Structure 1
């Protein structure tokens, strides 16, 4: 007996990935260019993107030194080419030298009387935009775009909340980007956060090819990115936003530490080493400096690097807390100068969007136990019992198989040893996922809702998908892996 109804089961992972790739190509090659041609603000935003390398502190307070003293010192010296810092001899110095000592004493007494006359018993301190103690921090089990929508339209989710002013700045998001290529594997059907964003916004055209490889510290600033599709699957026409539903965001695209060497015994919790922790904090500082420079007030961050890159959640959460709370930065010149504290006074609200509930809870425990994890608008606890195949586990298996093939072709013993360490790390991640069933918070798109089931595809459709020429390869070549390992080895030897 045959089936009376067609099967509603999921297609194999490879076919689902090909379908996502085709949908993404349709959006990138047709939808986004049409939007840029018809909406001048979106086009201008794409053209205004910039690469910011090693951003310097914008808002900092020297420990043990008043702002006025620093400004006076900076005003009294100028840096000249080939001559270092030289004292300015201007009108002020000439005027001071020409004044009689008695007249200078009289002037000081007059200034002192004026200061006493203006002295108030209840001085009002200068208001700060925000501080670590007043800043609002939330952890929500949702995706980046939904979190940005919640901040842009708060009254849609909480009627009692106040409506933001019309001229308020855009919500800024952190694009946890691939450091090697624009959009990562968006054209090959990958489902991590960057691919998720590039298929639903105008972010990808702002990631100029010449900006890559991304710097170790810094990133790409992309203003006025148009969101034209919600967090739903690309195959669902209901997810397309109309002209009145679209909204704007800003983005900082930066890459996180990849495949770090974790410390700890077999029965111990794996943690980052001291150098890697400092490096992660420096990356976070660089991102926040870009946002501070651009006047960002509300930002959507995430568990940066806690997915396929293998960074422990506890280390990433503690690093975010340290940097947001005001981390001291030492001098790079080697001189014994006062350390500085960056407090990010512009930041009023920070939302950590983590789609996986278990990872969100672990993140909250490490970041601040007082912060409760909020359920997102579409968060459903029954989803954890869903029997869908783990897409991230499939990607890990694919990477393991390909790296094993590449490992057999490598002749350099040092490179082979390093790749072996990475391979063991990937296998450990896969074993842990198979034991716990945890998705790792990387996959953001529901394949089941793509509208494609196993019985909905014909062999001809599958063949057509395979015939398409894909310019981007989601998996790194051996040369790129060797380059990354060489850079990491140089850092460790310093």
Structure 2
């Protein structure tokens, strides 16, 4: 699919959502950086998978295999809902935006993008948007599929490639990842789809991103056992290997 075709699909998606083809757009909730969130209780065990699949593929797979709602991390542009989806850009957020009502939901919480447009720090902030029950109705090839619903957790990773001065990227990633997990827990999600957040155009080191999540979800971590299943869906093998290593699990196909 070329850029022109992707832009045409984005326009069609916007039209279908505006027409109400998949029901009303769920309102999103913006969680500010210092807002109290739920803390995990004691005990519990989590299954962590690192898989060769996209976020969309993992979301569809999990939705088909259980009734508990699935929450997916949207690797967000800090400044524009859906990133460059309308002009046919291609990255994880753009794929989600073309395939669902995510952008329409994000537009109900405009403060997230307005705040980041107004400030120039490429580290961005720990704001997280929760979009519940968003209808998803396309696959990765752009084909219409039987709709299913997932929640989206929208958060911008720091833009490491735009930094002009040294920064504690590992600390920022860990703190922001904790906010993502805290928002998921606050909204009652037990199954998550995460991934190589910020490891594309933002140029974060996948080993650092993997370490941030492993510190939080692994043995002794703040969110150890807080979720039933966490899938790191990483279709690029170079990005996937650090996640498999960080969690001590095999790098395997989905399913």
Question: Which of 18, 40, 44 is matched with 2:4 structurally?
Answer: 18
1:375 matched to which residue of 2?
253
Structure 1 residues 372 and 51, CA, compared in 2 at 3 Å: closer, same or farther? same
- TM normalised by structure 1 equals 0.46
Q: How do residues 135-154 of structure 1 correspond to structure 2 at under 5 angstroms?
A: 135-154=46-65
Describe the shift of the 1:261–1:51 C-alpha distance in structure 2 as closer, same or farther (beyond 3 A).
closer
Structure of greater Rg: 1
Q: Deviations over 1:321-364 (max 9, x none)?
A: 0122378xxxxxxxxxxxxx733654110000011123212332
Which residue of the partner structure matches residue 160 of structure 2?
259
> Judging changes above 3 Å, is the alpha-carbon distance between structure 1 residues 320 and 33 closer, same or farther for their aligned structure 2 residues?
same
Q: 2-side partners of 1:360 and 1:306: how far apart? A: 11
In structure 1, runs of 5+ residues without a counterpart are 1-9, 11-15, 62-126, 155-163, 263-272, 328-340, 378-494
Match of 2:210 among 299, 314, 317: 317
Deviation at 1:51, TM superposition (A): 0.8
Q: How does 1:255-334 map to 2 (within 5 A)?
A: 255-260=156-161, 275-325=168-218
Cα drift, residue 195 of structure 1 = 0.5
The answer as to whether partners of 1:354 and 1:360 remain within 8 angstroms in 2 is yes
Larger relative helix fraction = 1
Give the TM-score taking structure 2 as reference length: 0.86
The aligned residue for residue 221 of structure 1 is 130
Which residue of 2 is the match for residue 50 of structure 1?
29
* Contact in 1 for aligned 2:72/2:192 (Cα 8 Å): yes
Contact 2:207 2:242 in 1 (8 A): yes
What's the offset of the Cα at 1:150?
Answer: 1.5
1:337-356 alignment to 2 at 5 Å? 342-343=222-223, 345-356=225-236
Please point out which of 39, 46, 49 is paired with 1:59: 39
Q: How many Å separate the matches in 2 of 1:274 and 1:184?
A: 24
Using the alignment, how far apart are the partners of 1:169 and 1:274 within structure 2? 38
Deviation, structure 1 residue 58: 1.6
Task: Give the alignment partner of residue 32 of structure 1, picking from 13, 17, 24.
Answer: 17
Task: Give me the whole-angstrom Cα distance separating, in 2, the residues matched to 1:188 and 1:274.
Answer: 32
Partner-residue secondary structure (3-state), 1:223: strand
CA contact 2:100–2:137 (8 Å) conserved in 1: yes
C-alpha RMSD over aligned residues: 2.5
Distance 1:261 1:246 in 2: 37
Moved over 4 A (4+): none
Alignment CA distance shift 1:56-1:344 (3 Å): farther
Aligned residues of 1:260 and 1:276 also touching (Cα < 8 A): no
Per-residue deviation, residues 230-273 of structure 1 (Å, max 9, x unmatched): 122x3xxxx211xxx321100110100002589xxxxxxxxxx6
Partners of 2:60 and 2:5 lie apart in 1 by 27
Secondary structure of residue in 2 paired with 1:149: helix
Cα distance in structure 2, aligned partners of 1:180 and 1:312: 22
Quick one: which of 194, 197, 204 aligns to 2:93?
Answer: 194
User: Separation in 2 of the partners of 1:285 and 1:353?
Assistant: 18
